[in-house]
Structure 1
Amino acid sequence: MALSPLFLCFVLLVTSSVSGRFVVEKSSITVISPSDLQSKHDSAIGNFGVPDYGGTMVGAVVYPDKSSASGCRAFSGDRPFKSRSSRPIFLLLDRGECYFALKVWNGQQAGVAAVLVADSIDEPLITMDSPEENSDKEGFVNKINIPSALIDRSFGDSLKKALQKGEEVVIKLDWRESMPHPDERVEYELWTNSNDECGSRCDEQMRFVKDFKGHAQILERGGYTQFTPHYITWYCPEAFVLSKQCKSQCINHGRYCAPDPEQDFGEGYEGKQVVFENLRQLCVHRVANESHRSWVWWDFVTDFHIRCSMKEKRYSIECAENVIKSLGLPLEKIKKCMGDPEADVENPVLKAEQELQVGRGNRGDVTILPTLVINNVQYRGKLERSAVLRAVCAGFAETTEPAVCLSGDIETNECLERNGGCWMDSRANVTACKDTFRGRVCECPAVNGVQYRGDGYTSCEAFGPARCTINNGGCWSESRDGLFYTACSENELKGCRCPPGFHGDGHKCEDINECNEKTVCQCDGCSCKNTWGGYDCKCRGDRLYIADQDTCIGRNTSGFGWFLTLLVLGGVVGLALAGYIFYKYRLRSYMDSEIMAIMSQYMPLDNQNNETEPLRQRQSSSV
């Protein structure tokens, strides 16, 4: 029987995935005890549940008896597994007999914090994947909320032997290096589909887009992330390009195809309509990104799913364009970006998408939907809002993640109890405890422009010129009788120093009794009285105390003394007045001479007239 083009398209896709490049995402496991097993091992992150990206977990390993070691049946009793301490329990199970996800689900139902599956053969680590949709009749995969990992056979055997000896096995699961953070911005991409008739997978991705939209737009608007949507397409074999099936599934003469939504060529929507809508959504993002509004893609996809659903028979070009107009996007630019779906040419947008499906760097080939890639690493786990937000936030360097990473559903609240064991200044309400989705971090803070420095656990010290504005920089200060003293000085960038009149370490200062220490007021006949922050020294009789000289001088109060003082003052005043008069006289004389000199150049004076008169007479008589 001849193969249909639809089947051949799937064959091409499967062949590509088999021969393509698949990357196993890993976390690490460190054995803490017993001491003879202390070592570090790789583990493969399960492709379901909630890996604790960016975090760690420490717990005790338990291994059930042989009859239930596979974990394929529900464990009896309420929380049947116990540890010697209060540590969380990590359940170790054997591979085989049932789906990986079912083992983890049964472990979660038994109250364990994580599940480890030991491989049954010696081979490189593989990714534990979810079962097919029709094999998950109870929908347990989407209910898994704990992390899981596959470990190699030899490591699993060593753990089992230690447990059989009755030793307590304590390990640390570590996902901190599972999500790289190469720079200050997280780049992530979602491979999705505009089709909403593909079963639970489509429902899952549309539910995620709707729930994650708020977080995504906050991150994108703030410049913290760069999000890019992608859509999988494949091509029809050249021999079948002109067939009815290929024409119904593909655009641009078989170059870009999608399966029939209902898997029935005789009714409903066609695959080429899905390809064309996928192309539109790509162009919506491109055009929105050009106008610095990349986050509008989330609004478009959400609105399109509500207003233009296949299930309600509204999936159409007209409906999509109405959504575009409602969001204020330039329709003509989007149409130009999409090009002509009937043309026998490459579409540059979809051509780029096909090339991006091939894995690069740490990322494997993209072959299934939905697929989430964060910082070029494929996300493993449930496509759910809080789980994905945790993974995206793990893409930031520790303590640099934005505030949205402390949303209520992923914050740890470890700072609420005993301040997380970090330093705190209760008087200024300043703490070194910072709550993150990874757990609390003890880091000296920056408050109102004042930077604190220290280890964050036992001490933090204010640093910089503005440090005295917050609780006096942590230094001693006190007010008494209208006087205020502090050991913090804005002239010093750090440290505390007791002010003059006090002694101590700067964090506690006590008044110096200068009188007892005999450092002042040592002059003959002086009496000393200590005051807070200073002293009061008085001289015997009417003498005056000169502090700089630490001495007393006599006051002159006799009548002759007053007369002499007045006489001296009168003489000084007289001299000043005489000097002023002399100054005014000399100034006037100088000004007169200057004026005369100037006028002589322009006007003849009387003596000049007398001298020139005979000359005039002689000149006139000669005429």
Structure 2
Amino acid sequence: MARRLAAALCLAVAAVSVAVATARFVVEKNSVKVLSPRSLRGRHEAAIANYGVPDYGGTLTGVVVYPADARLADGCRPFGEAAAKALRSRSRRPVVLLVDRGGCYFALKTWHAQLAGAAAVLVADGVDEPLLTMDSPEEETPDMAFLANITVPSALVTKQFGDALRAAASAADDEVVVRLDWRESMPHPDERVEYELWTNSNDECGPRCDEQAAFVGAFRGHAQLLEKRGYALFTPHYITWFCPDAFLETTQCKAQCVNRGRYCAPDPDGDLAAGYSGRDVVLENLRQLCVHRVANARNASWLWWDYVADYHLRCSMKGDHYTRRCADDVAKSLGLPMDLIDECMGDPDADVENDVLKTEQIVQVGHGTRGDVTILPTLVINNVQYRGKLESTSVLKAICAGFKESTEPDVCLTPEMETDECLNNNGGCWRDEKTNITACKDTFRGRICQCPVVDGVQYQGDGYTHCKAVGPGRCAMNNGGCWKGTRDGKTFSACSDSDLSGCKCPPGFKGDGLHCEDVDECSEKLACSCPHCSCKNTWGSFDCSCHGNNLMYIKAEDTCIAKNMSAFGWLVTTLVLSCLAGAGVAGYVFYKYRLRRYMDSEVMAIMSQYMPLEGQNGERLPLREEAQVEHA
């Protein structure tokens, strides 16, 4: 009886929650582009299934195949070896198996297609309606163990598009080639990914709870690495419901809720009289939320992953350790202060709102591109609900798809995550064969051709056919792409660090800067053209000499002058210099003893008229000592 009451309460709480929140569901989509035949070319939407492994950030090109046997058209039966061989494409491209909707679970169709060798599955809707998300069964029975082994992606297409694909694939004409594209299924606005996991501390809810616990343990290392280095921002969330007013005083509400029915969780085993209660689950959920808040305040938010993983191992319900005492031990082992965690949790018996749990109920309602969170576990990446299996590698790949191109961390560029397209013919991008500098940059979504920055030097160009170093230091990178030559121990370059771009042949050379050749100044009469000059061209310059031993060439004047002068010339020069020296000495003596004394007397006379000096009786005094001596 208690089990039935608990189940009834859960249904009532869920119904009220849906009515209050007005549930909003968002269908996550990828695109299907038909490449051939020409009559079907175009782009169509498809709803990503919530199982298997969508290839976030990638594409898949394959041939659409529809089973010829009508009994296998819905994919609800195993195809068998003979039928599987018939599903292969003539061009040996990957097979995208098209099956009809109905007859069995969506996931079972995909499983049978995967066993038959299909690389992806498209399910054609049977009625005209908006696209919906294909999900796995809510109640997983032992015969559904295959769900964890589905690895191929699946999607639902509209009836109109499905009918067109079916007709074209059933014809004996050319193959129907399509490209499934998940590159824009995950938003990738910047260099940081923000994601959240809606989970539960209950470990008695069957395969779903086991999946969550396994994921936390396996993904913990990736999550902590991404967060410690600032690549990602993670936030955990927990779903709670509230108890209707009519049930507040019932045993069911008191056993499954805190804060007087405001925050509730279903009884773990459905038996209110035994085992752990829904109230215990709410309290541990609240504690785990506060662990994250306290750790985040200490700049160590990644400790949440350690706490949750350790709590699952040490404090499981199955081992009868799902207690406050066990939680204290786990927190203390991680250096987390329990007093701050308790302060964050508040009083669960008080008839007041709990700020932490109230916030969880608010953010549970969808906003923007994200729908309401109604099932567990739910992973949200960049405000878009993740579709597919909750498995470490699959989730990491989806997170990697959330980074802006060329900002992905190294963990996203490993061979397990993506294929380095730059290894094949340099990705079709520009490359300098001499220095092996390339414009090909590997990203999670594929290569991009972008002129690089090398040792602080920026390259500019289209990235495909050319890139050229520009700015300071460019001449150090393959001489800036300019001409450079060395001969007879001399080196000339058409690249100048004083110029931020361009190439210019140096003096003594001519050309476009990419190719330069020596200028013959002698034959072109550009230098050494005086009557007594003799010109000889050299690489990058010229040598000019004068006929006769007593002549010297002056390059600036392009002329020859005598090296030695006659005795008479020297005498004249000496006399001229002596005269100039004598004139200078005479001028100095005149200034010091005549002109300066006269100026001092005149200045004193003027000053005495306007500013009489005390004690001097109006006498005119000289300004300098030497003037006084002369008057004595």
Q: TM-score, normalised on structure 1?
A: 0.86
Residue 139 of structure 1, CA deviation: 2.8
- What SS does structure 1 have at the residue aligned with 2:234? strand
Residue 49 of structure 1, CA deviation: 1.8
Does the CA contact (< 8 Å) of 1:423 and 1:431 recur in 2?
yes
Residue 38 of structure 1, CA deviation: 1.5
Alpha-carbon distance in structure 1 between the residues aligned to 2:18 and 2:379: 17
Structure 1 match to 2:407: 400
Alpha-carbon distance in structure 1 between the residues aligned to 2:363 and 2:536: 87
Structure 2 match to 1:29: 32
2:205 aligned with 1:202: no
- What SS does structure 2 have at the residue aligned with 1:536? strand
2:122 aligned with 1:116: yes
Structure 2 match to 1:618: none
Change (3 A) 1:191 1:522: same
Change (3 A) 1:526 1:160: farther
2:152 aligned with 1:152: no
Structure 1 match to 2:254: 247
Structure 2: tracts of 5 or more residues without a match: 605-612, 621-632
Residue 227 of structure 1, CA deviation: 1.9
Quick one: which of 133, 138, 161 aligns to 1:127?
133
Residue 179 of structure 1, CA deviation: 2.0
Quick one: which of 301, 304, 308 aligns to 1:294?
301
- What SS does structure 1 have at the residue aligned with 2:145? coil
Identity, % of aligned positions: 58
Quick one: which of 448, 461, 468 aligns to 1:441?
448
Alpha-carbon distance in structure 2 between the residues aligned to 1:553 and 1:93: 99
Alignment of 1:493-512 (within 5 A): 493-512=500-519
2:84 aligned with 1:76: no
Residue 485 of structure 1, CA deviation: 2.4
Quick one: which of 395, 411, 419 aligns to 1:388?
395
Does the CA contact (< 8 Å) of 1:17 and 1:367 recur in 2?
no
Alpha-carbon distance in structure 2 between the residues aligned to 1:566 and 1:312: 122
2:51 aligned with 1:45: no
Deviations along 1:40-88, one digit per CA (max 9) or x if unpaired, are 2110001112222233333322223124333331442686644344643
Does the CA contact (< 8 Å) of 1:411 and 1:435 recur in 2?
no
Deviations along 1:161-210, one digit per CA (max 9) or x if unpaired, are 22314122222222233222455543221101122232222222222223
Deviates more, 1:323-332 or 1:368-377: 323-332
Q: Which amino acid aligns with 2:41?
A: Q
Change (3 A) 1:238 1:204: same
Alpha-carbon distance in structure 2 between the residues aligned to 1:553 and 1:107: 97
Structure 1 match to 2:547: 540
Alpha-carbon distance in structure 1 between the residues aligned to 2:446 and 2:420: 8
Residue 155 of structure 1, CA deviation: 0.7
Q: Which amino acid aligns with 2:155?
A: A
Alpha-carbon distance in structure 1 between the residues aligned to 2:320 and 2:579: 114
2:320 aligned with 1:313: yes
Change (3 A) 1:546 1:76: farther
Alignment of 1:204-603 (within 5 A): 204-524=211-531, 526-542=533-549, 543-549=551-557, 551-557=558-564, 559-560=566-567, 564-565=569-570, 568=573, 572=577, 575-576=580-581, 579=584, 583=588
2:97 aligned with 1:97: no
Q: TM-score, normalised on structure 2?
A: 0.85
Structure 1: tracts of 5 or more residues without a match: 609-623
Alignment of 1:12-27 (within 5 A): 12=12, 14-15=14-15, 16=17, 20-27=23-30
Does the CA contact (< 8 Å) of 2:97 and 2:118 recur in 1?
yes
Q: Which amino acid aligns with 1:326?
A: S
Deviations along 1:531-565, one digit per CA (max 9) or x if unpaired, are 3322333333344334444x3313243543xx624
Structure 2 match to 1:65: 68
Residue 417 of structure 1, CA deviation: 2.0
2:7 aligned with 1:7: yes
Residue 310 of structure 1, CA deviation: 3.2
Deviates more, 1:338-347 or 1:78-87: 78-87
Residue 232 of structure 1, CA deviation: 0.8
* Coordinate RMSD, CA, aligned: 3.4
Alpha-carbon distance in structure 1 between the residues aligned to 2:377 and 2:291: 19
Residue 438 of structure 1, CA deviation: 1.0
Deviations along 1:91-117, one digit per CA (max 9) or x if unpaired, are 222223332223223333333332211
Does the CA contact (< 8 Å) of 2:199 and 2:239 recur in 1?
yes
Alpha-carbon distance in structure 2 between the residues aligned to 1:343 and 1:569: 116
Q: Which amino acid aligns with 1:316?
A: T
Does the CA contact (< 8 Å) of 2:406 and 2:442 recur in 1?
no
Does the CA contact (< 8 Å) of 1:60 and 1:89 recur in 2?
yes
Structure 2 match to 1:612: none
Q: Which amino acid aligns with 2:74?
A: S
Change (3 A) 1:272 1:14: closer
- What SS does structure 1 have at the residue aligned with 2:160? helix
Deviates more, 1:526-535 or 1:226-235: 526-535
- What SS does structure 2 have at the residue aligned with 1:554? strand
Q: Which amino acid aligns with 1:180?
A: P
Residue 151 of structure 1, CA deviation: 0.7
Structure 2 match to 1:615: none
Alpha-carbon distance in structure 2 between the residues aligned to 1:210 and 1:20: 31
Quick one: which of 22, 43, 54 aligns to 2:57?
54
Change (3 A) 1:302 1:3: closer
* Count of residue correspondences: 603
Change (3 A) 1:40 1:513: same
Alpha-carbon distance in structure 2 between the residues aligned to 1:75 and 1:587: 126
Change (3 A) 1:500 1:290: same
Residue 378 of structure 1, CA deviation: 0.9
- What SS does structure 2 have at the residue aligned with 1:172? strand
Q: Which amino acid aligns with 1:485?
A: F
Does the CA contact (< 8 Å) of 2:530 and 2:560 recur in 1?
no
Residue 257 of structure 1, CA deviation: 1.9
Quick one: which of 143, 161, 167 aligns to 1:161?
167
- What SS does structure 2 have at the residue aligned with 1:500? coil
Q: Which amino acid aligns with 2:106?
A: F
Change (3 A) 1:583 1:102: farther
